[in-house]
Amino acid sequence: MNNHEVIHMIRNRPRYDVIIAESYNSDCALALAANLSTPYIAFNPQPLHPWHYNRLGINFNSAYISQSLLPYGKQPWFFDRVKSFILYYITNWVYYIGSQVTDHVYLYKYLGDNLETLESIASNASVVFVNTHKSVFGGVVRPDNVVDIGGIHIRPPKVIPTEIERFINEAEHGVIYVNLGTTVKDSTLPVDKLNELVSTFRRLPLRVLWKWDGANLENLPRNIMTMKWLPQYDILKHENVKAFISHAGILSTIEALDVGIPVIAIPLFGDQYGNAASLVDAGMATILTYDNLRKELLLDAINEVLDPTWQQRAKLVSRMWHDRPMSPLESAIYWIEYVARYNGPPNLIAPSASIPWYLQHQLDVLAFVGLVSYILLYVLYKILSVCCCCCCRTEALTEETLSQERRQKVVKFE
């Protein structure tokens, strides 16, 4: 908020047709868009997280909604569902306290006290772009304003640098590409984990192309090439690359899906767990946890994904990933123009996004039905009680009358 251009925008209130604002771990940009009374589109560069569900009007259910922060697929067992249920409310609370409360302080200072709550502003986004696609990340009933644009960053492959291309082409048995992302640097791996990786790669007949951000490793076998930077997508597109050892970051996940290459996922942080689980559900990945990163297990995982059936399955999933009415870029352009044409139409926003939580879960209806049922059962109970009492009393009177008649007969006989 101390940026001079932002302050200038707040004061001069320029006119825009549409504003596209990131809405991942902060909603400040959405608040700026709402303050300008301009239709706005929220862009989430990752899969939906727990704090996105309420604002979109999605009822969270741990039985079939897999969280992006957990390594559970679409059929979690009981204790996985318990963990997912608890984490859902914890992450929502942490997001509210850690992000929205702090953001409100600054937004009220610069935009005034009449500003709506960030949750309300986020709920009123005309369209929400999500960097996924239902062919792999599906299974959740979502409102119409949630649009998949997973793969929008993909561009036509470029020529691979000569040295790298020669290394790949000359691999008689193929190449495994290794990239554990940027969140955790490879050079910070403990020595024992590093040794497990190198020992495994040494035993392979395949070559290994490894994005390594540290100093040159000593005594590497000839089948391993390391570089600080590698053109990942271009390499994955090469027909001689057979498998991908990845941290399962969202962009790496999407590129593996785009190409159709089996993945050995070693998730380390955040959404990587959920991305890996989605690939496993799709049938084109196996997960190896960091704690289980040992030579025998890694070698088993590599041999598993090198099986031809895995290669075929990965290509099938890739075809489903690409099978869309329009490309991710065309889809984004269409919906941006749609919002601009109709000045931020509210017709796509789910009504459940703007109602209290107790209405979302129909607790008032359930309470009313429960109360009416209780009253009816209580009245029925009273009616039955009265009927039973009357029947018992009648039976008692009848029995007493018969007893009196018997006594009278006995007296008369005597």
Per-residue pLDDT, averaged over 126-130, amounts to 94
CA angle, 86 as apex, 98 and 145 as ends, to 5°? 70
pTM of the model: 0.84
The pLDDT value recorded for residue 398 is 60
Scan for tokens 């304003």, then name that residue. Answer: 145
The pLDDT value recorded for residue 183 is 79
Give the pLDDT band of residue 188 (cuts 50, 70, 90).
confident
Q: Is the pLDDT of residue 391 over 60?
A: yes
Q: Is 125 helix (H, G, I), strand (E, B) or coil?
A: coil
Convert the pLDDT of each residue in 306-363 to its tens digit.
999 999 999 999 999 999 999 999 999 999 999 999 998 888 888 888 888 788 778 8
Convert the pLDDT of each residue in 49-69 to its tens digit.
888 888 888 888 777 777 777
Convert the pLDDT of each residue in 143-154 to its tens digit.
889 999 999 999
The pLDDT value recorded for residue 379 is 93
Strand 285-287: give its sheet, edge to edge. Answer: 224-227, 207-211, 175-179, 241-246, 263-265, 285-287
Kindly list the distances between the CA atom of residue 230 and the CA atoms of 178, 227, 242, 275, 382, in Å, as whole numbers in the listed order: 10, 7, 17, 22, 80
Give dist(CA 163, CA 369) in Å, integer: 73
Tokens standing for residue 227? 């570089």
Scan for tokens 């850690």, then name that residue. Answer: 98
Element (H, E) at 396: helix 363-413
Convert the pLDDT of each residue in 69-127 to its tens digit.
777 766 777 888 888 888 888 888 888 888 888 888 888 888 887 888 888 888 889 99
The pLDDT value recorded for residue 386 is 83
